[in-house]
Chain A
Amino acid sequence: MNLSFRINSNIDSNRVASLIGLRNGQLWDLLFSAAVWGSVLIVAMVFLWLVGDVLIRGVSAVSWDFLVSPVIDSGRSGGIAPVLVSTACIVAVALAVAFPLALASAILIAEFLPRTGTVSRLVVASFDVLAGMPSIVFGLFGNALFNQLLGFGYSLLSGGLTLACMVLPFMIKANVDGLRAVPRSYREAGDALAMSRTSTLWHVLLPAALPGIIAGVLLGMGRALAETAALLFTSGYVTRMPESLMDSGRTISIHIYDLAMNVAGGDRMAYASALILVVLLILINTAVVRLGDWIQRRSLRA
């Protein structure tokens, strides 16, 4: 990889450099800086294009009515109220199941396991694989386990449980980071007061790590909101207002996909839904970044 950066002198570049009156090194410096600025320009332009596209095409269809009306005519008209409710249900199930598990694993990893021990490395490696696993594979797993074996069928419950598996590694990582940022002195103070590890954890560490824990929940929420592929064959994509967790329902991501791919004349509403989703995710992301900065500042101070 670094090979390309090492090539810095050959005959041709010498000749070119001397032609335009530069030392050879200066020519490469110039080219390198141009590449840096050029890349940034490309990235900035594509970013503006992408976000501007969603904003401009989406904003005209977004209104209060859009948020509170049912889906009519496959989504060509009406709004996305049932979609928002289904999304909330699926995300709630996912977080309710994943949160306790993630917190427990994070506490064990951060507080009880030696950081470089074999167990710890194995556990972390398994989380890395889980984090990198294609979402469609989670979908297949969820379909086989929740929809068929456990008999939940196409339902918000199946979708939520599948997403719980998917967001676990991300929530664990955020929780571990939060716990590790708590200064060592907190634990020593607990020990000095002869508190049991349980009560140190309960009364000192967890409250102190709360920003990291909240960041973990938000991160999991963001992942869950953005997911589509894992839900196609677990929660299904009925457009109506769900009445229980056993009903099928579609999340906003699936709604965007369906409008874009399967509904002639659905682009406008797809963009409107995309705008809502992107705004939600940016808000969540901003909160995560703020909490992250806060954690970092504190661990630096300690």
Chain B
Amino acid sequence: MQYLFDCRRITALVFVVSWIGFSASHASDKLRLLATGSSTVAPVMAELARKYEQAHPGARIDVQTGGSSRGVADMINGLCDMGMVSRDLKPSERVLHAYTIAHDGIAVITHRDNPVDALDRIQLIKIYRGEARDWGDVGGIAGVPVVVVNKAAGRSTLELFLRYLDLAPDQVRPDIIIGDNQQGLKTVAGNRSGIGYVSIGAALQAQQEGVPIKLLTLEGAKPTIANVTAGNYPITRPLNIVTRKPAQGAVSEVLAFIHSDEGVAVIESLNFVPVQ
């Protein structure tokens, strides 16, 4: 009992624990990379990273979401090694270097039980401007209010979608604001009168996993990989990896892996269109 009470030992223990911690933090000489940004690119990147690590023992690539603008911001602040950005770089961001790894589109989604199968651009504008507040206004069940799910600012999916509708951010009258693609899928799957928009790849993947959502036909074009590949779908975008300096060393090796046959297979398996 007495020695337990000895504060010197407690203090010593504290120092030993922190010393081990600090030395462990410097001991590793493994190759480690951190990729942050777009929640559209993240699942692809995570799977590519897993395959890359299998082929290169000693490498470790960690992936975090947060939106395309986070990828850009973290890159500029030096907080990551690869920024994931699911759109073209803006003029103000041209100091960074972008490497396109795949193509994707944006799908409009509703709950699986919603009878509406297709919408056109004008109807979408009405919904997102808050002019059509009832599903009956756009060919659905009258009397059911439309719950408009919008993306948070700084999300490339929002920027591209609004550019397609030609709306300014403050013209949109949303009911719920969401961040990641996954949150959009979850919100719409949980609300029978909701409408939202997410990455086609993410939506198809979720549908395959049994999430109760429906991808709407937009302007007569179904959101499919074939239509994105052929350029028939109205909202498409590149998925980019951005770096501060031209890619070199480990990052360029990872990019080379992404463009290899194995990388392309991963991208296709996740419902995205690989770069030819």
Direct chain A–B contact by Cβ atoms under 8 Å: yes
**Residues of A with Cβ closer than 8 Å to B?**
74, 76, 89, 92-93, 96-97, 99-100, 147-148, 151, 153-155, 157, 202, 206-207, 210, 236-238, 240, 243-248, 261-266
A-B interface pairs (CB < 8 A), number: 93
Say which residue of A100, A155, A243, A265 sits within 8 Å of B209 (CB atoms): A265
Q: Given that A74-B182, A148-B77, A154-B34 are contacting pairs, would A100 and B14 also be in contact in the complex, using a CB cutoff of 8 Å?
A: yes
B209 to chain A, nearest CB (A): 7
Contact A153 B209 (CB under 8 A): no
Contact A243 B60 (CB under 8 A): yes
Q: What are 28 inter-chain pairs, A to B, with CB distance below 8 A?
A: A76-B209, A89-B21, A93-B21, A96-B14, A96-B17, A96-B21, A97-B18, A148-B79, A151-B78, A154-B79, A157-B25, A207-B6, A207-B7, A236-B36, A244-B24, A244-B27, A245-B22, A245-B24, A246-B25, A246-B28, A261-B179, A261-B186, A262-B179, A264-B182, A264-B186, A264-B211, A265-B210, A266-B186
Q: Does B125 contact A (CB under 8 A)?
A: no
Q: Given that A240-B62, A245-B22, A262-B186 are contacting pairs, would A153 and B180 also be in contact in the complex, using a CB cutoff of 8 Å?
A: no
A117 to chain B, nearest CB (A): 27
Q: Given that A206-B7, A248-B34, A262-B180 are contacting pairs, would A99 and B186 also be in contact in the complex, using a CB cutoff of 8 Å?
A: no
Question: What residue in chain A is nearest B43 (Cβ atoms)?
Answer: A74
Counting chain B CB atoms within 10 Å of each CB, the highest count among A76, A92, A157, A236 belongs to A236
Q: How far is the CA of A236 from the CA of B30 in the complex (A)?
A: 20
Say which residue of A89, A100, A243 sits within 8 Å of B11 (CB atoms): A100
Question: What residue in chain B is nearest A232 (Cβ atoms)?
Answer: B66
Contact B182 A237 (CB under 8 A): no
Q: Known A-B contacts: A74-B182, A262-B180, A265-B211. Give 16 more (CB < 8 A).
A: A89-B21, A100-B11, A147-B79, A148-B78, A151-B78, A155-B25, A210-B5, A243-B28, A245-B25, A261-B180, A262-B65, A262-B179, A264-B186, A264-B189, A264-B209, A266-B186
Q: How far is the CA of A147 from the CA of B210 in the complex (A)?
A: 39
Contact A153 B186 (CB under 8 A): no
Contact B186 A263 (CB under 8 A): yes
| B1-60 interface with A by 8 A CB criterion | 5-8, 11, 14, 17-18, 21-22, 24-28, 30, 32, 34, 36, 39, 43, 60
Q: Inside 8 A of B30's CB, which chain A residues have their CB?
A: 243
Question: What residue in chain A is nearest B209 (Cβ atoms)?
Answer: A265
Q: Inside 8 A of B106's CB, which chain A residues have their CB?
A: none
Contact A99 B79 (CB under 8 A): no
Question: What residue in chain A is nearest B39 (Cβ atoms)?
Answer: A262
Say which residue of A148, A151, A244 sits within 8 Å of B25 (CB atoms): A244
Q: Does B242 contact A (CB under 8 A)?
A: no
Q: Inside 8 A of A210's CB, which chain B residues have their CB?
A: 5
Q: Inside 8 A of A245's CB, which chain B residues have their CB?
A: 21-22, 24-25
Question: What residue in chain A is nearest B25 (Cβ atoms)?
Answer: A245
Contact A202 B64 (CB under 8 A): no
Q: Inside 8 A of A154's CB, which chain B residues have their CB?
A: 34, 36, 64, 79-80
B174 to chain A, nearest CB (A): 17
Q: Does B254 contact A (CB under 8 A)?
A: no
